[in-house]
Amino acid sequence: MTPRIRVGIGGWNFAPWRDNFYPAGWPQARELEYAAQHVTAIEVNSTYYSAQKPATYAKWRDSAPEGFVFSLKASRYATQKRVLAEAGESVQRFLGSGIAELGDKLGPIVWQLAPTKVFDAQDLEAFLALLPSQVAGVPLRHVLEVRNPSFAVPEYVALARRFKVATVFTDAIDRFPVIADPTGDFVYARLLSADAEIDTGYSPAVLDRWADCARHWSEGRIDADLPRVEPTLQPAGTPQDVFIFFINGAKERAPAAAMALLSRLQAGGG
C-alpha cells in the first residue's frame, strides 16, 4: 500500500474545542464524527485509563470515514509496572478487549512508559517479546514512548530495531528524550509544544518545518538536524507511514495546528 502521512489530535471530547473547533451548538454526541472529517487520525487516551467495550470500538469505527485511523494508548496496567516483564496478563487483557473491532481503522498502539522507568535491556526485551503482531486477525503496529533519558543509548535503539517497534519522536526536548532514530517501519510523532498565543499553536515557519519532516519521513529519510542516538546509522530509505499528533501544550490549539499541517501537506502533495 502507498505510505500515508496522517495528522491528528488527542481525543475529541475537550470543552475548549467547543469554542474554537466545533460549530456552535454542535451535538457533543457527534463530536467524533466532526473531528474525523477534519483530521485524519486521533490518538485515544481513555484506553490508557480504563478498558473499553467491543461495541464502543465498533461505534468509533463506524463514526469515521474510510482511511481514518485510531491510535490507542495501551493500558497503564501494562506500561506502568516496575518490572515490565511481568505485564503479560495486562497486555493480553488490553489487546483482547475488543480493539480488533476497529479493523483497518486501527492505528499504532502506544506503550507509554513512566518517566521514572529506567532503561533495563533485559526487562525491556522481555516486555517487547510480549507484543504480538496481530489480534483476531488484525495486524498490530507497536510504538514505545520512552520518557527517561536513560533510553537515549545505542543499546535501546538496537533492541527496539530488533523487535521492529517504533519509538515516539517528540518535540518536548526540555521534558523527554528526543530520539529520531528509526526503530520500526513507520514514524510516530507526538508534538507537545504548542503556544496558546498562536492561533495555529505553532508559527507558520515551524509548521512548514514539520511538513518538510513529515514528507522526508514518509520517504524513509531523516533530517540531519533531528536529535539521534546513532547518527551514523542510516535509515533504510524505504517509504513508510507517518503519524503526527498534536497532543498537549496548548491543547486548545491542537485542531488548528493539525489542520494547518494537513493543508501544507495537501498543497505539497503529502
Domain boundaries, the chain: 5-267
- Supply the pLDDT for residue 227: 93
- Supply the pLDDT for residue 267: 85
- Supply the pLDDT for residue 228: 94
Output the pTM of the full model.
0.96
Q: Is domain 5-267 annotated with CATH 3.20.20.410?
A: yes
- Supply the pLDDT for residue 202: 97
- Supply the pLDDT for residue 237: 85
- Number of Cβ within 10 Å of residue 135's Cβ equals 18
Q: Can you give the three-state secondary structure of the chain, one letter per residue?
A: CCCCEEEEEECCCCCCHHHHCCCCCCCHHHHHHHHHHHCCEEEECHHHHCCCCHHHHHHHHHHCCCCCEEEEECCHHHHCCCCHHHCHHHHHHHHCCCHHHHHHHEEEEEEECCCCCCCCHHHHHHHHCCCCCEECCEECCEEEECCCHHHCCHHHHHHHHHHCCEECEECCCCCCCCCCCCCCCEEEEEECCCCCCCCCCCCHHHHHHHHHHHHHHHCCCCCCCCCCCCCCCCCCCCCCEEEEEECCCCHHHHHHHHHHHHHHHHHCCC
The torsion angles phi and psi of 252, rounded to 5 degrees, stand at -60, -20
- Supply the pLDDT for residue 232: 82
Tens of pLDDT along the chain (270 residues) come to 567 999 999 999 999 999 899 999 999 999 999 999 999 999 999 999 999 999 999 999 999 999 999 999 999 999 999 999 999 999 999 999 999 999 999 999 999 999 999 999 999 999 999 999 999 999 999 999 999 999 999 999 999 999 999 999 999 888 899 999 999 999 999 999 999 999 999 999 999 999 999 999 999 999 989 999 998 877 778 999 999 999 977 999 999 999 999 999 998 755
Evaluated on CA atoms 244, 10, 83, 116, the torsion sign reads positive
Q: How far from 49 is each of 44, 72, 74, 75, 110, CA to CA, in Å?
A: 10, 11, 9, 6, 13
Evaluated on CA atoms 137, 98, 10, 248, the torsion sign reads negative
- Supply the pLDDT for residue 194: 94
